[in-house]
Amino acid sequence: MIEITEEDISIDQLMRRARRREAGAIVSFTGTVRDDGMDRLLLEAYPEAAKAELSAIVDEAARRFSLLSADVVHRTGSLSVGENIVAIVCSAAHREAAFAGCRYIIEELKKRAPIWKKEIGPGGERWIEGFRHNPDSVQSGGGK
């Protein structure tokens, strides 16, 4: 499941979806809004392109790390400190593969998915550097 949503993320639901008889490990990553002097975090995305890129990233991770399942849910909208931003849940036969797949997905998501963050606080607003256009990425019509 790849989802871009304004709704909160159900980690329990993602964990249930990841269960497989042949899975010896289920690993999750949850990114949250941290308190580093801001009041809110605004997240914007190009949903269709983000879903396509996330799907490509998940497919790469599944092949590379022999994942049995991998789900990604990313929030958009205005979020407060402590709220969930992103959740990734991977299952694999062995923990090393599940951990490696989960890490690969979050690192590639940060580089490739067209999702943008703006910090809003007492000192003003600022966009956070992250996604940069890549002509070889899925959302640009390229891809590997």
Evaluate whether residue 129 is within a structural domain.
no
- The answer to whether residue 57 is domain-embedded is yes
Strand order in the sheet with 124-128: 77-80, 40-45, 115-121, 124-128
Tens-digit pLDDT profile for residues 50-105: 999 999 999 999 999 999 999 999 999 999 999 999 999 999 999 999 999 999 99
Closest to 105 (Cα-Cα) out of 95, 116, 97: 97
User: Model confidence over 30-47: pLDDT tens digits?
Assistant: 999 999 888 999 999 999
Total of domains in the chain: 1
Give percent of the chain with pLDDT exceeding 70: 90
CATH of residue 55's domain is 3.90.1170.40
In a domain, 128, yes or no: no
Does a structural domain hold residue 104? yes
Distance CA 88, CA 90 (A): 7
Q: In this structure, is residue 41 part of a structural domain?
A: yes
The reply to whether 137 falls in a domain is no
Could you tell me which of 86, 81, 87 has the C-alpha nearest to residue 18? Answer: 87
In this structure, of 3-12, 81-90, 120-129, the range with the lowest mean pLDDT score is 120-129
**What pLDDT does residue 76 have?**
98
Give the pLDDT of residue 23.
Answer: 98
**Alpha carbons within 13 A on the beta-carbon side of 118:** 12
Identify the pLDDT of residue 136.
Answer: 53
Q: For the whole model, what pTM was predicted?
A: 0.89
Give me the mean pLDDT over the 100-123 stretch. 96
Domain holding 111, by residue range, is 2-120
Q: Is the pLDDT of residue 143 over 60?
A: no
Sequence-ordered list of residues with C-beta below 8 angstroms from that of 129, at least 6 positions apart, any chain: none
Q: Tell me if 6 is assigned to some domain.
A: yes
Half-sphere exposure of 21 (CA within 13 A, CB side): 0
Q: Give the per-residue pLDDT at 129.
A: 74
CA distance 71 to 7: 16
Kindly state whether residue 79 falls inside one of the protein's structural domains. Answer: yes
Q: What is the pLDDT of residue 132?
A: 56
